[in-house]
Amino acid sequence: MSVDQRFERVVLPHLDAAYTLARYLMNDASEAEDATQEAILRAVRYFHTLRSDADARAWLLAIVRRECYGGRRKRLDTLAFDDVPELQLVDQAAQPDTVADRSILQLRIREAVAALPDVLRETLILRELQQCTYDEIATITEVPLGTVMSRLSRARTRLADALGGLTTFAEEIG
């Protein structure tokens, strides 16, 4: 198997995850596309450094993260979640008041996530949206495993505090 074929087989399946991470870390869809493209070019250039095919996802996401945190970023503290693919909480058959309640819930969750400090938001996104393992997050963010666990715990606690009684509200509407 050629290097090109191996790259296509082990790295390219993670392209959507790479873009999603870039989109959450950048403030602009166009910048996220650019960062993802640059990361893919860098991945091609340094493909020989990939130790194991099983590590390809974490390896690529680490490259994307570095590209996003590099000089290309506009601002780290503001995220636009509207253009990012998300789960729809709205049932098409639901009553209008239920639809409105769910929209409010969804907005509050987005705002609470956006208000998290950068390192906590990044860790939460990698774990909950990208479904990375703790080891993968440690590799991607270049921090010890204990730091990943601590950041994830603090992110979840802050998110729960920010959302307050919304879990009860969510159970009532849904």
pLDDT band at 169 (very low <50, low <70, confident <90, very high): very low
User: pLDDT tens-digit profile of 17-56?
Assistant: 999 888 888 867 888 899 999 999 999 999 999 888 888 9
Of 51, 48, 53, which Cα lies nearest the Cα of 14?
A: 53
Q: Helices 166-173 and 96-114 meet at what angle, rounded to 10? A: 150
Res 42: pLDDT:
93
User: Looking at the domain covering 3-69, what would its CATH class be?
Assistant: mainly alpha
User: What is the tens place of the pLDDT at every residue in 91-130?
Assistant: 555 566 565 666 777 788 878 888 888 899 899 999 988 8
Residue 80 · residue 28 · CB < 8 Å: yes
- Binned at pLDDT 50, 70 and 90, residue 74 comes out as very low
Q: Taking a C-beta distance cutoff of 8 angstroms, is the pair 132, 61 a contact? A: yes
- How many angstroms separate the CA atoms of 47 and 7, rounded? 7
CA distances from 123 to 44, 67, 148, 169 (A): 26, 17, 7, 26
Whole-structure pTM value: 0.69
Task: Break the chain into its structural domains and give their ranges.
Answer: 3-69, 96-173
pLDDT above 90 (res 155) = yes
| Residue 170: pLDDT over 80 | no
Same fold across 3-69 and 96-173: no
Distance CA 26, CA 79 (A): 7
Residue 110's contacts (CB-CB under 8 Å, 6 or more residues apart) are 81
CATH 1.10.8.60, domain 96-173, yes or no: no
